[in-house]
Amino acid sequence: MRIPSLLAAVAASALIAHPAAAQRTAPPALAPVDPAVAKLRDAALKDDIAWDIVEGITTEVGPRLAATEAEARARTWAVAKLKALGFKNVRIETYRMPVWLRGEEKAEIVGPFPQPLKLAALGRSGATPPEGLTAEVVYFPTFDDLRAAPDGSLKGKIAFISNQMEPTQDGSGYGQFGPARFVGPSIAASKGAVAAVIRSIGTDHGRGPHTGGTNWADGVTPIPAAALSVADAENLERMFARTKGPVTMKLVLTPRMAGEAESGNVIAEVPGTDPNAGIVLIGGHLDSWDLGTGAIDDGAGIAITAAAAKRIMDWGVKPRRTIRVVWFGAEEPGGFGGRAYAEAHAKEKHATASESDFGADNIWRFEVNLPDGAKPVADRLASALAPLGITRGRGVGGDGTDIGPTLATGVAAVDLNQSGLRYFNWHHTPEDTLDLIDREQLRQNVAAWTTMLAIVANAPEEIGAVTPRSGN
């Protein structure tokens, strides 16, 4: 299409005034890819090991609530599976922790529009009396509205905190909207509330509630706290819009703290040839919430990382660095396994740490936190991961609850970021089941992790200490 003469003149003058706008510089040349690494990467796109692991753990064990008999069965299952795959030095490292158990969960609107609600207690929630409690509900459209409520204003009331989470590729919405669950009930209790319910921290619109842990500030006595399904939270919002009178809820929640019990980390290794080069730490968490079968959170993560390590083990080239696969226990109730691991292995040299705990959808980005002398490692990763549709991010790597305590000691990081556009539709819900996992996307994950391990575990560069990114 021809540009009218006046517009053409304006466009031409703009290019003269800003010559940089008239050209694009070529990107830096990619580092060459080792043909053996490329072959290994491409073969992993046909992987079936990861599917077998996640199918096995969800079918043969199912939900794996931390420090329960189910998580203990998962550890036994994990040891047998990792030994059968050929890993070395397979063992369990145990620790003690408090146990929270779910009880009865029921809620209903008593007036003005009587009807039942779907909800799930939040981890570490307090309990109602066995017969439940009935109280007026106070509606807070956002978490900030709750924070702004005067002290004592919720005495004898149930706080309802609603905020609508939107899907994002990087999962940043969880950090923005998650505080309603992380600390919302504690704030409500400090203002006098007898209970708190939140809109589930999820991006769906269904009736499956999203559970998850909540935290109580020092000096705050836990109150009953639960997440309403997104659909029921939206319905409750409409009730407030359609009445000028009070909205009353009856709530029955009977969870309990059950003393202390044993949890543990399952560890397996692919031994390296250079004991001074440091350990490449990878893994995910073995435990899960108890509503679904823990397929995407985090059966997929333990499957992806172990499958990739298995492929390196079977490559025929012994890695320079030992690859240590850790299936962490008790991540969901507060990262107990990650802290226990960091304490138990504080004297060992770790080269890098990475974890997979964001489902099984395609990896789209990688980010690193490497010392200056190991920058070429990131360049090789960029070249080798590009054919998988993975680009290099501009942020500083070092993400993950389980590896966080290890990263905080100055260990370098490589993050492989999965797409979060679907993840929070099912995160911590009864729908977290095997059918959510796409086999081809799972294989892309395995290919990416295999590529990363092949490069990082064999890098000739020294990978020393780094400055941890803020937050770890």
Sign for the CA dihedral angle at 337, 342, 343, 348 comes to: positive
DSSP secondary structure code for residue 96 in this structure = E
Of 312, 329, 307, 327, the closest CA to residue 271 belongs to 312
Tokens of 171: 């999962």
> Do the beta carbons of residue 448 and residue 301 sit within 8 Å?
no
> Do the beta carbons of residue 102 and residue 288 sit within 8 Å?
no
Sequence length of the chain is 472
Residue 331 known to be catalytic? yes
3-state secondary structure of 225: strand
**Cβ-count burial of 349 within 10 angstroms (0-12 exposed, 13-18 middle, 19+ buried)?**
middle
- Separation of alpha carbons 445 and 358, rounded Å: 11
**Cβ-count burial of 26 within 10 angstroms (0-12 exposed, 13-18 middle, 19+ buried)?**
exposed
- Separation of alpha carbons 269 and 280, rounded Å: 10
Q: How many CA atoms lie within 13 A of 170 on its CB side?
A: 11
Of residues 331, 332, 355, 367, which has the active-site annotation?
A: 331
Task: Give the chain's end-to-end CA distance (angstroms, integer).
Answer: 54
Q: Cα separations (Å) of 119 from 138, 182, 196, 206, 227?
A: 17, 17, 12, 12, 5
**Cβ-count burial of 241 within 10 angstroms (0-12 exposed, 13-18 middle, 19+ buried)?**
exposed
> Do the beta carbons of residue 165 and residue 210 sit within 8 Å?
no
DSSP-assigned states of every residue in 377-432: HHHHHHHHHGGGT-EE-SS-----TTTHHHHTTT-EEEEEEEP-TTGGGTTTSTT-
Backbone angles phi, psi at 294, to 5 degrees: 65, 40
Q: Residue 296 carries which side chain, given as an amino acid letter? A: I
Residue matched to tokens 């909540």: 214
Pairing of strands 105-111, 248-253: antiparallel
Tokens of 29: 């040349």
What residues are annotated to the active site?
331
